[in-house]
Amino acid sequence: MANGYSTNFQSITDLLGSLGYDMSALTSPGSLYGFGEGTDYGTEYDMYFQPFDVAGFQEAQASLGELEQNLLTNVSQQFSQQSQDLRQRYGGSMDEIRNQSGQTGLVGGAAQRQRRTAARVGMSEQQGLIQQRESGMQSVQENIGAKLGQLEGTLLDFLGSQAQMALNIRSFDPTGSANNQQQQPLPSGQIGMGNVNFNDFLERLRSNIDYGGQYGG
């Protein structure tokens, strides 16, 4: 990507693998803790173990990647335009020096000094544009990386909430005996975190992006 400024977007399976999980932790979270069909607890508590919104997570992740590339492209395009403008101004300065030399008889060392001065100014301005571009790209990467961290945090929150839910159920019904009785609902304070609305989540991420100075979108 542009000058190496690109966030590493891991697949959801790779993220899970790095944490010691597989996809079943998201698609059938209760089974990870001994709940579900064929267990002592049966299916009575399945309502408390809702699957993670894998598709929503992946869509939000892909949208962040697309947003990053659009922003980096914007930075590169502005740099190219500004560099072109600078070259045109430099060429105009050289033409002006030549014209003045012809009109005033400015020759030799004086004309050469003017050309060197114009060249130094041009090089200094070009270096400033390069630094501005690097700063803009770094700002984009840092902001997207932070938002990606928030997005991946929803996955960690989900896994933690399912583990906590399993503990809550076991403390409420240690042996699964409620499976043979009329089930009572868990106290509301013991109900775990639900799924994230990734559409709303992504809109919040987009609205809070810092585009990095004049390289805004």
pLDDT in tens, 126-182: 888 888 899 899 999 898 998 899 889 989 989 998 998 888 888 888 776 655 454
216 belongs to a structural domain:
no
**Which residue has 């542009």 as its token pair?**
2
Question: pLDDT at position 188, please?
Answer: 46
Average pLDDT estimate for 50-71: 89
Nearest-angstrom CA–CA distance, 217 and 213: 10
157 belongs to a structural domain:
yes
Question: pLDDT at position 20, please?
Answer: 93
52 belongs to a structural domain:
yes
User: Which amino acid is located at 205 in the chain?
Assistant: L
Q: Write out the residue range of the structural domain in which residue 174 sits.
A: 15-207
Residue 116's pLDDT band (cuts 50, 70, 90): confident
Residue 208's pLDDT band (cuts 50, 70, 90): low
Nearest-angstrom CA–CA distance, 47 and 43: 8
**Which residue has 């790779």 as its token pair?**
14
Q: Is residue 133 a contact partner of residue 75, using CB atoms and an 8 Å limit?
A: yes
Q: How far is CA 207 from the centre of its chain?
A: 13
Residues comprising the chain, all counted = 217
pLDDT over threshold 80, residue 119: no
- The alpha helices in the chain, defined as continuous H runs, are 12-18, 24-27, 54-104, 109-172, 198-207
Query: At a CB cut-off of 8 Å and minimum separation 6, what does 3 contact?
Result: 133, 134, 137
132 belongs to a structural domain:
yes
195 belongs to a structural domain:
yes
145 belongs to a structural domain:
yes
Query: Using CA atoms in the order 167, 168, 171, 172, what is the torsion angle rounded to 10 degrees?
Result: -150
pLDDT in tens, 62-111: 988 988 999 999 999 998 888 888 887 777 776 676 666 655 555 566 66
Question: pLDDT at position 18, please?
Answer: 94
Q: How far is CA 179 from the centre of its chain?
A: 44
**Which residue has 């299916």 as its token pair?**
43
Question: pLDDT at position 191, please?
Answer: 43
pLDDT over threshold 60, residue 217: no
Q: What is the pTM of this model?
A: 0.72
Angle, in degrees to the nearest 10, between helices 54-104 and 109-172:
170
φ, ψ at 34 (rounded to 5°) = 85, 25
Count structural domains, the chain: 1
Question: pLDDT at position 33, please?
Answer: 87
Nearest-angstrom CA–CA distance, 10 and 84: 37
142 belongs to a structural domain:
yes
3 belongs to a structural domain:
no
**Which residue has 């997570």 as its token pair?**
57
